[in-house]
């Protein structure tokens, strides 16, 4: 019996020793895990701090880059709108110079050789685009209609017998076709101003309604303008009425044929100065 008791005590003591070793080992392992966790947390916080610094530097860099881009764009815009005054007095921006060069590539080289100044080149460019915008062949169908281009204006001269009865300023029915074509041309390009000039021969006129040739030339111009505005819906803001009486004859008024040539209405198509360079845009 005594031997059994001693054996039992020995087993309990041995069992107690094993459990204590495991406990100590677990405690040690737990300590190591906590140490690793603490180390990992410190490393994470350190990485977050470094990342925040890097992100701050990236944000600063992007801000500086955006500011630089804005400065470059601003300088580009400023450079484009910068006006250059040339020796011949012509004022042109860099952007318009680029448009000018693009258009001049399409101009007849023989004409381009005759351009001595920047102003000459500008006139050629505008003339080129006016010719493209305005289909003059649609108007130049009759010997009583003459179409000429002089620098930046297109001049269409129409014999009065196509527009009026003799000594009258009332539009005749014969004028419908030509005025419709003129209206189509004018309405196709809102940047063009249109001057209508009345011209007479040298014979004097005086009636109850017409005081003299000045009166007749102006009345004929305003009749054409009213017809363009009211019947063919041309914008009146584009129209200008002018009378020249008999003081700009094409030929001497020494024959019936010559007087007929001098009785005419001239339509002058002019690019609006505010939209001058729009006509130089390369098509």
User: How do residues 152-205 score in pLDDT, each as one tens digit?
Assistant: 678 888 988 889 877 789 998 888 888 988 888 888 777 788 999 999 999 999
User: What is the pLDDT at residue 186?
Assistant: 85
User: What is the pLDDT at residue 283?
Assistant: 44
Question: What SS3 state is found at 117?
Answer: coil
The rounded distance, in Å, linking the Cα atoms of 238 and 236 is 5
Distance of CA 222 to the CA centre of its chain: 33
Give the range among 22-36, 101-115, 233-247 with minimum mean pLDDT.
22-36
233 confidence band (pLDDT: 50, 70, 90): very high
Fold of 91-280: 60s Ribosomal Protein L30; Chain: A; (3.30.1330)
Token pair of 168, please?
């009258």
User: What is the pLDDT at residue 77?
Assistant: 45
- Beta bridge pairs of residue 195: 240, 268
- Find the mean pLDDT for residues 48-66: 75
Q: Which has the higher per-residue pLDDT, 40 or 179?
A: 179
The rounded distance, in Å, linking the Cα atoms of 95 and 92 is 8
The rounded distance, in Å, linking the Cα atoms of 118 and 87 is 9
Short-list 202, 241, 194, CA closest to 218:
241
- Find the mean pLDDT for residues 18-44: 73
Q: For the chain, what percent of residues have pLDDT higher than 70?
A: 66
Q: Residue written as tokens 């024959």?
A: 255
pLDDT at 253 over 90: yes
Give the range among 31-35, 64-68, 261-265 with minimum mean pLDDT.
64-68
- Find the mean pLDDT for residues 122-133: 69
- Find the mean pLDDT for residues 43-67: 75
Query: HSE on the CB side for 151, CA within 13 Å?
Result: 7
Burial class (CB in 10 A: 0-12, 13-18, 19+), 213: buried
- Find the mean pLDDT for residues 27-44: 76
Is the C-alpha dihedral spanning 172, 175, 177, 179 positive or negative? negative
User: What is the pLDDT at residue 44?
Assistant: 79
Phi, then psi, of 125 in degrees rounded to 5: -65, -45
pLDDT at 223 over 90: yes
User: What is the pLDDT at residue 110?
Assistant: 84
Token pair of 37, please?
């966790």
User: What is the pLDDT at residue 6?
Assistant: 57
Contacts of 129 (CB under 8 A, 6+ apart): 103, 279, 280, 281, 283
């Amino acid at each position: 019996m005594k031997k059994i008791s001693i054996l039992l005590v020995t087993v309990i003591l041995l069992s107690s020793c094993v459990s204590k070793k495991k406990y100590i080992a677990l405690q040690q392992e737990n300590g190591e895990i906590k140490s690793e966790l603490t180390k990992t947390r410190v490393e994470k916080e350190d990485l977050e701090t470094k990342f925040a610094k890097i992100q701050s530097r990236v944000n600063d860099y992007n801000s500086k880059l955006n500011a630089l881009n804005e400065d470059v764009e601003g300088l580009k815009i400023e450079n484009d709108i910068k006006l250059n005054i040339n020796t011949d007095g012509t004022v042109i921006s860099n952007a318009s110079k680029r448009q000018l060069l693009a258009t001049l590539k399409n101009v007849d080289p023989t004409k381009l050789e005759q351009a001595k100044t920047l102003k000459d080149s500008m006139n050629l460019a505008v003339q080129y685009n006016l010719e493209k915008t305005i289909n003059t062949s649609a108007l130049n169908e009759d010997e009583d209609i003459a179409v000429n281009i002089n620098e930046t204006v297109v001049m269409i001269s129409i014999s009065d017998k196509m527009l009026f009865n003799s000594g009258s300023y009332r539009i005749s029915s014969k004028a419908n076709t030509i005025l419709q074509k003129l209206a189509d041309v004018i309405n196709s390009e809102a940047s063009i101003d249109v001057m209508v000039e009345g011209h007479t021969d040298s014979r004097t006129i005086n009636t109850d309604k017409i005081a003299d040739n000045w009166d007749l030339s102006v009345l004929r111009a305003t009749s054409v303008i009213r017809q363009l505005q009211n019947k063919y819906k041309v914008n009146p803001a584009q129209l200008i009425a002018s009378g020249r009486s008999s003081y700009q004859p094409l030929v001497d008024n020494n024959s019936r044929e010559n007087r007929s040539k001098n009785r005419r209405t001239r339509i002058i198509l002019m690019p609006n100065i505010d939209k001058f360079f729009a006509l130089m845009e390369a098509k």
